[in-house]
Structure 1
């Protein structure tokens, strides 16, 4: 899944720091951006 890919890139702790302050909409937007970036 996308979260696992992100964990590998930034680490799970940093991932939680990044996402804990985001709304669901912001997380969804972030996922769309990551899908464009990641292979």
Structure 2
């Protein structure tokens, strides 16, 4: 458990943007509907 805590602290210090960079998981983006394209 101590190793896990140290690993989390090191990640927060050396990679503050997160493990996935600028990508983030949010429910609003996941459930946002894409506008339908109008075909003519």
Q: Verify same fold: TM over 0.5.
A: no
Bigger fraction of residues in helix: 1
Structure number with greater Rg is 2
Q: Which of the pair has the greater relative contact order for Cα pairs under 8 Å at 6+ separation?
A: 1
